Amino acid sequence: MSSWQSYKCFQLNYTMLVIESLDADTETRRLSPVAILGNKFVDLINGPQDHGWCAGYTCQKRVSLFHSIVATGHSYDVFFSSVSPQKLRLMMLDTAQSESVVVSVFYSKPQRLDVYVDNKLVAPTNAEWNSDKTDYTLKKPVSADQYFPKLSADLGSNYFDPDYKMLKVLVRGSETGGDPDFPGSLPLLRAACHD
């Protein structure tokens, strides 16, 4: 589009993916730059500027909130420059519920990673529940991608790939149009150490 001095994309539906750390140190621990890898491209996102009041380095505070443009119907890998947050919220803004992406977040430590939607646990796709439905064990995959969440799956469907240390989570637009004032409809990741 020469009149715009830019390109216009016709075949992809783009939306805003929001990645938010909910850890207690969200303002003091630097997670960025954050790398979003998808479709052979990488988006390096730097954090927002300091919103503290002093001019010194020791009081710099940044909200760990990152916005990336993604194409729905695709998968993306997320890597933080620091240790991945223990509590992480993923959402797509102003996106129809029918639109989805699979977001894979790198976690270097092998620990249990839980995904919650509406404050309810969403068990991994390879979970095998006990008879009381109080606990589950994880089935080993026969093929590498057997338990990967599909783009047509329910919001929050997830699987931890132990070979690549990636937690794969399906993120959908919300019924409310992706309004961040409705956090109950968004996937929330919690890392926890369990025996």
In a domain, 4, yes or no: no
In a domain, 3, yes or no: no
- The DSSP line for 56-113 is SGGG-----EEEEEEETTSEEEEE-SSSPPSEEEEEEET--TT-EEEEEEE-SS--EE
In a domain, 71, yes or no: yes
Please report the pLDDT score of residue 126 as a whole number.
94
- Residue 44: other Cβ atoms inside 10 A: 13
* CA 166 centroid distance within chain: 11
Cβ–Cβ < 8 Å for 87, 119 = no
In a domain, 7, yes or no: no
In a domain, 5, yes or no: no
Q: How far is CA 195 from CA 12, 110, 130, 185, in A?
A: 44, 12, 17, 29
What is the pLDDT tens value at each position of the chain, 195 positions in all?
Answer: 678 888 777 788 899 998 888 877 666 677 778 899 998 999 998 866 655 566 555 566 666 788 899 999 999 999 988 888 888 889 898 888 899 999 999 988 767 888 888 778 889 999 999 999 888 889 999 998 999 999 999 999 999 998 899 999 999 987 544 333 333 334 555 554 443
In a domain, 2, yes or no: no
Cβ–Cβ < 8 Å for 14, 71 = yes
Against a cut of 0.95, is the pTM above it? Answer: no
What total of structural domains would you count in the chain? 1
β-bridge mates for residue 93, sequence order: 16
Dihedrals φ, ψ of 166, to 5°?
-120, 130
Domain range for residue 171? 14-192
In a domain, 1, yes or no: no
In a domain, 55, yes or no: yes
- To the nearest 10°, the Cα dihedral for 129, 130, 134, 140? -40
124: helix, coil or strand? coil
